């Protein structure tokens, strides 16, 4: 491959009320507000050395405008553009200056219909990792991954591995031998993106990295004390898959945020992807806890990069597995 | 009062398979086995300086033989005996030597029918608090409290406060103004015993103190890795009531154990008991999580101190409150 | 005894610059400011249900005005007054209204010269234990103990046990069989007050209770990020004696504050005080770390309750023990 | 570059008494013993999926035989061999089968004289990350880095970046503008290797990754309870440089082990190396604590790959900086 995707880097979420979002993301979760204007809030974690990893954009309807990946250089953008165009995916350029604090960007709806964005440059900012006096709430560190529901996981799994250079760390398969879900990475931990069989394309959640398990517990305490108890959808608990400690939250617009801490190093090319049986109750929550229905059924819609309209969703290709522990 | 009840001190549980219990309590939860014989295992926590706080006794049916309280001296036992006899509760003496490692003991079924035991002496043993090389699993510290389902909470609440010298730290009441549940203490934390309205007399759970929140999380991890995932009934989570971090487990016989950490100091006579509304969803789990049905419906039967037969149970006096967050 | 001392309850410290103190105690350590005026700041921890546990009072010279204990009732004050007067210690009454937020108070310089204060009433305030949104810095919970340097530990040890009803949890003795240091409690943990052989009477430190070990570590991080690195005098580490996790800080006036977490329950009258050899390197820091010279040599002067002048100090009665690990 | 060094992967340490080492590394630190014979113990962490990351080899004198790096494939070994030979460094091949559990290996003393080893293959083993029932002591996770004292840091810094493809995350420089120390990585965290100005070539320490801060604290407690208090050389504390939480230990042969947790992601090519002034007291320990003399002066000798003799050491090229916080 003549390009290098570094990592998942930012998301642009449409939200209805910036003040409600600010309270949730900053006061409760401890994000740092790098900048904002009447229509946007730019947020980053304490470890991040670039301008933001989350853009909240005022809109009439909650939706996902873009899932952004950082690449090594602007040349990589050209190579990616050629790749997508050759395969029949129309691309769109946003020249430098068009988006705040970000260099030239390439957008494309991928084979599942997810609105991707690639860019090499973002304005540097002060990294606040050692400004412990600013630590609040969740002690938010950095963006970690996207998790998406798609109708055809195997197609996404192939596309990302063969064309985009992702590697698989773990996957779930069915008794019929189909890949139900897959965790794919560019940076050296469990994932930058995961795909799960289901109605889609939709964004199931954005994962953010926290420094330790107690920060997740404290997040629950803080949310409850602020009246956000209902924002806690699932967890805290231990994932079987990834071994991370997790907590799923719903923001004021219903976007799902995962707080995530402590997976493992995936640097080795001879690491054999870990297979999980879809009927293994320890796969999702290692302790065997079931997830609520909303976690299975609800997710954020995504937008077409050209029309700005919601991308039409299709049901998951694989037959729905029950009982309780099916993703 | 001419006696001084120090604290909840030990429980005697009937279990069907000592080996199954040993694996659960020692290998998974990290209890220290002080001693055992063919019919008993005597367990203690790392902080405890007396012989045991839990006796597992081989039997055909799981049940609770006694809930033991430590008193200041053997004179206190005489005073307690007089009190109960005067009030019409027949008592029974177990002279020193009759029970292993324990001095003279007084037994009585209390006004709810719970089989109480009082004693002043127990053999001292080496305290292992600083033997960190022996810390395993949950890092079990010490016994903390009993929680009992009784048909008439208000009667129990009155009896323990007026006659036995307990103080109330927190309580739940209903819209009708009845006390639904009460947390009562002799030692200076939230409780030595709690009573909840419901089918009873039954032991709902025994609470054991752990040193920190991460020990509860690690317990879940250890249990899951040993195949005990189903033993995790509820939690981990934060109690609204007591502010403790909690985890509820079911042992191989179905007895419920609570791991409990981090309530608060109740030394002050002017501390005003905290009132919780039964319909406040933060009361049980501060984060708003619901408890499973089994947690509401299942509990351990208790035995008559004379006959050794199960004490007949009656339903809770107060009308059952729904929705989800009752009790 | 016809009185009941509940616990160590508040200290009054003279400080030179209230703004400097505010920044240290509130911004860094996370104390709650209940109230303040031109000459005082009243601080409390998150768990405390009464007005304050620390009074910072503007003065020209740093000093300790009073070490306050809470008693059960105002009748207890009378009994204490009689006790001290009979033994030849002049007492002083501060009637209700004379001190902000506190009821009638009795002051006396004890047999070591330490300025004690006893009171039964303090204004109740909202307890913020479950206001997790207000947790900052150290997550300060509550006052725990006083530690004092005195010339004659054995005299203090006897006075507090025989006359004031304290119990000993742990003590250090010398090869000559003298008590070098003693930890004495009324509430049910390791101490409300400790005495150490040395130049005195002086206040070595005030101990405050934190919820867990990570709060002490985070305190170091926060202090360092605020430029307070030099305020960290010793630790974090594990005490052999008490088993608590500790951190010693020096406030802007040089007063020493200990952050302290996780000792053990001392409810039982048959608990045998733990003896430590003064030459055991694990006694102070269980891990064997040495303390800096300043920790041994420096402490806060205390004031005469009548004159307000510094109480004259005398050297410790026992010969100074070396090497490194002598208190 | 026509090769890809993945990460620091194993060390071979000569030790005098395998039983003494076993007790320290396994009983206290919680390493997993994969295998052993009369002359070797092969150890791995709970996360590791290959045979070992530490080989303890019985010998008369403590020393470092090899610092091993994993590469992508056996072809990479050929390319590395050519590189070193071309630059005048004699190399040595250890064919597959020559060393237990490891494939073909290339050894070379690098430009500082450090005995490097490169290999692509190691026998896979069961990863025990989710066998929480086996977690003991430190909960050892995986090898993280080597730290070496060398006479000419700038030469090492150049060689590893220009010839071996390492990137610099952080560095220390002197008032004269010389690089005093440098942290270099291949995998995406702060380092696989660091070089510090000083007597060398020597191995200052091997860093192992732990899951969280409390595991370091528990390590101190466990070591102390086993009589290993003197093995704790420095810490626990927070590094300014790397932001990791650290603890330095000395094994029974004096080899220094660092327990290390929580640095940050270094995936981005535009991450600007962080510069630290050698006179900044927060550089080493963020909290300002000084390190003991032994930490500055003592380190493990390394062996010549051909002769097996100790590589002759030279003093650091840069003039020694004082005061306390040098290196």
SS (H, E, C) A277-299: ECCCCCCCCCCCCCCCHHHHHCC
For B222, the closest of D28, D132, D212 (CB atoms) is D132
For A243, the closest of D130, D187, D267 (CB atoms) is D130
Which stretches does DSSP call E strand in D262-320?
A: 274-277, 300-301
Is the predicted pLDDT of residue C321 greater than 70, yes or no? no
CB B197 within 8 A of CB B150: yes
pLDDT at B1: 84
What are the percentages of helix, strand and coil residues in chain D, rounded to 5? 20, 35, 45
Contacts with B249 from chain A: Cβ below 8 Å: none
Q: Name, in order, each residue with C-beta under 8 angstroms of B94's C-beta and a sequence gap of 6 or more.
A: B104, B105, B106, B107, B117
At C280, the pLDDT band (50, 70, 90 cuts) reads very high
For residue C97, cis peptide bond before it (omega within 30 degrees of 0): no
Report pLDDT digits (tens) over C5-46.
999 999 999 999 999 999 999 999 999 999 999 999 999 999
For D132, the closest of B134, B214, B218 (CB atoms) is B218
For B133, the closest of D130, D133, D225 (CB atoms) is D225
At B321, the pLDDT band (50, 70, 90 cuts) reads low
B and D: number of Cβ contacts within 8 A: 38
For A229, the closest of B214, B220, B287 (CB atoms) is B287
pLDDT at B319: 77
pLDDT at D325: 39
Tallying the residues shown for chain A, one arrives at 327
User: How many H-runs (helices) and E-runs (strands) does chain C carry?
Assistant: 5, 18
pLDDT at A1: 84
For residue B242, give the nearest of B202, B291, B209 by alpha carbon.
B209
The average pLDDT across B44-49 equals 98
Report pLDDT digits (tens) over D163-221.
999 999 999 999 999 999 999 999 999 999 999 999 999 999 999 999 999 999 999 99
pLDDT at C324: 42
Contacts with A218 from chain C: Cβ below 8 Å: 132, 135
**CA D200 to CA D192: how far, in whole Å?**
18
Measured in angstroms, the CA of C136 and the nearest CA of chain D are apart by 19
For residue A118, give the nearest of A32, A41, A3 by alpha carbon.
A3
Note whether A225 contacts C28, CB cutoff 8 Å: no
Note whether B6 contacts C142, CB cutoff 8 Å: no
C93, C97, C100, C106: CA torsion to nearest 10 = 10
SS (H, E, C) chain B: CCCCEEEEEEEEEEECCHHHHHHHHHHHCCCEEEEECCCEEEEECCCCCECCCEEEEECCCCEEEEEEEEECCHHHHHHHHHHHHHCCCCEEEECCCCCCCECCEEEEECCCCCEEEEECCECECCCCCCCHHHCCCCCCCEEEEEEEEECCHHHHHHHHHHHCCCEEEEEEECCCCCEEEEEEECCCCCCCEEEEECCECEEEEEEEECCCHHHHHHHHHHHHHCCCHHHEEEEEEECCCCCCEEEEEECCCCCEEEEEECCCCCCCCCCCCEEEECCCCCCCCCCCCCCCHHHHHCCEEEECCCCCCECCCECCCCCCCCCCCCC
Which stretches does DSSP call E strand in A125-222?
A: 142-150, 167-173, 179-185, 193-197, 202-209
Provide the ipTM: 0.96
At B326, the pLDDT band (50, 70, 90 cuts) reads very low
CB A259 within 8 A of CB A216: yes
Report pLDDT digits (tens) over B179-212.
999 999 999 999 999 999 999 999 999 999 999 9
The average pLDDT across B79-108 equals 98
Helix B213-225 to helix A213-225 angle (10° resolution) is 120
**CA A155 to CA A164: how far, in whole Å?**
13
Q: Residues C10, C11, C16, CA angle at the centre, nearest 5°?
A: 145
Among all residues of chain A, which has the CA nearest to that of C228?
A133
Interface probe, candidates A215, A223, A228, A287, chain B, greatest B C-beta count within 10 A = A287
Query: D284 phi and psi, to 5 degrees?
Result: -80, -60
CA distances from C288 to C182, D215, D233 (A): 20, 18, 10
| Mean pLDDT for chain C overall | 96
Q: Which fold, C5-119? A: 2,3-Dihydroxybiphenyl 1,2-Dioxygenase; domain 1 (3.10.180)
Interface probe, candidates C28, C217, C233, chain D, greatest D C-beta count within 10 A = C217
Note whether D70 contacts A264, CB cutoff 8 Å: no
Structure letter (DSSP) for residue D94: E
For residue D193, give the nearest of D216, D165, D233 by alpha carbon.
D165
For residue D199, give the nearest of D277, D115, D307, D112 by alpha carbon.
D112
DSSP string spanning A291-321? PPHHHHH--EEBB-TTT-SBPPPB--SSPPP
For B287, the closest of A232, A245, A288 (CB atoms) is A232
The average pLDDT across A229-256 equals 97
- Asked if A286 has any chain D CB less than 8 Å from its own CB, the reply is yes
pLDDT at C70: 98
For B130, the closest of C188, C243, C271 (CB atoms) is C243
Among all residues of chain D, which has the CA nearest to that of C228?
D287
User: Domain residues of chain C, as ranges?
Assistant: 5-119, 139-301
A75, A80, A82, A87: CA torsion to nearest 10 = 170
**CA C118 to CA C71: how far, in whole Å?**
7
- Asked if A216 has any chain C CB less than 8 Å from its own CB, the reply is no
CB A248 within 8 A of CB A234: yes
Report pLDDT digits (tens) over C188-222.
999 999 999 999 999 999 999 999 999 999 999 99
What residue ranges of chain D have pLDDT lower than 70?
A: 321-327
Q: A touches which chains (3+ CB pairs under 8 A)?
A: B, C, D
**CA D35 to CA D50: how far, in whole Å?**
12
Q: Which fold, B142-301? A: 2,3-Dihydroxybiphenyl 1,2-Dioxygenase; domain 1 (3.10.180)
**CA A222 to CA B257: how far, in whole Å?**
27
**CA A214 to CA A212: how far, in whole Å?**
6
**CA A171 to CA A164: how far, in whole Å?**
18
Is the CA virtual torsion C113, C114, C118, C122 positive or negative? positive
Residue B46 corresponds to which tokens in the numbers above?
Answer: 């790392």
Residues in B 46-105 with any Cβ partner in D closer than 8 A? none
At B111, the pLDDT band (50, 70, 90 cuts) reads very high
Tokens 């040495």, residue?
Answer: C290
Note whether B132 contacts D28, CB cutoff 8 Å: no
Note whether D269 contacts A72, CB cutoff 8 Å: yes
pLDDT at C327: 36
- Same fold across B5-119 and B142-301: yes
Note whether A124 contacts D270, CB cutoff 8 Å: yes
Note whether C132 contacts A28, CB cutoff 8 Å: no
pLDDT at D319: 77
pLDDT at A319: 77
Query: B223 phi and psi, to 5 degrees?
Result: -60, -45
Note whether D262 contacts A142, CB cutoff 8 Å: no
Measured in angstroms, the CA of A204 and the nearest CA of chain C are apart by 28
Is the predicted pLDDT of residue A320 greater than 90, yes or no? no
Residue C63 corresponds to which tokens in the numbers above?
Answer: 């000093």
pLDDT at A321: 63
CB B10 within 8 A of CB B54: yes
- Asked if C226 has any chain A CB less than 8 Å from its own CB, the reply is yes
For A267, the closest of D6, D243, D265 (CB atoms) is D6
Among all residues of chain D, which has the CA nearest to that of C283?
D224
CA distances from D7 to C60, D107, D166 (A): 60, 16, 10
**CA C39 to CA C60: how far, in whole Å?**
12
A139-300 to CATH, choices 4.10.220.20, 2.160.10.10, 3.10.180.10, 1.10.645.10:
3.10.180.10
Structure letter (DSSP) for residue A43: E
Note whether D267 contacts A212, CB cutoff 8 Å: no
D139-301 to CATH, choices 3.30.310.80, 3.10.180.10, 3.20.20.80, 3.10.450.50:
3.10.180.10
Q: Which residues pair with D245 in a beta bridge?
A: D238, D261
Residues in C 288-317 with any Cβ partner in D closer than 8 A? 288-289
Is the predicted pLDDT of residue C270 greater than 50, yes or no? yes
């Amino acid at each position: 491959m003549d390009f290098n995707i570094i990592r998942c880097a930012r998301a642009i979420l449409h939200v209805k009320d910036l003040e409600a979002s600010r309270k949730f993301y900053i006061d409760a979760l401890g994000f740092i507000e790098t900048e904002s204007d009447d229509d946007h809030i730019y947020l980053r974690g304490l470890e991040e050395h670039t301008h933001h990893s989350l853009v909240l954009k005022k809109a009439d309807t909650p939706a996902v405008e873009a899932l952004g990946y950082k690449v090594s250089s602007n040349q990589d953008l050209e190579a990616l553009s050629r790749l997508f165009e050759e395969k029949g995916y129309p691309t769109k350029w946003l020249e430098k200056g068009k988006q705040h604090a970000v260099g030239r960007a390439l957008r494309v709806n991928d084979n599942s219909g997810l609105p991707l964005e690639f860019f090499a440059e973002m304005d540097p900012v002060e990294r606040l990792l050692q400004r412990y006096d600013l630590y609040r709430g969740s002690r938010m560190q950095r963006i970690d991954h996207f998790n998406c529901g798609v109708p055809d996981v195997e197609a996404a799994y192939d596309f990302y591995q063969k064309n985009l250079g992702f590697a698989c760390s773990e996957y779930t398969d069915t008794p019929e031998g189909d890949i139900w879900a897959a965790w794919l990475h560019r940076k050296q931990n469990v994932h930058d993106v995961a795909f799960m069989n289901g109605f889609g394309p939709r964004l199931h959640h954005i994962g953010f990295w926290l420094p330790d398990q107690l920060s997740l517990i404290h997040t629950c305490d803080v949310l409850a004390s602020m009246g956000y108890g209902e924002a806690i959808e699932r967890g805290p608990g231990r994932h079987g898959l990834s071994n991370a400690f997790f907590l799923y939250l719903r923001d004021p617009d219903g976007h799902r945020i995962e707080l995530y801490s402590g997976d493992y190093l995936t640097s080795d090319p001879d690491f054999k992807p870990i297979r999980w049986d879809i009927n293994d109750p320890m796969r999702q929550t290692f302790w065997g806890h079931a997830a609520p229905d909303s976690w299975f059924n609800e997710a954020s819609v995504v937008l077409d990069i050209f029309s700005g309209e919601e991308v039409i969703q299709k049901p998951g290709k694989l037959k729905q597995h029950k009982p309780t522990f099916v993703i």
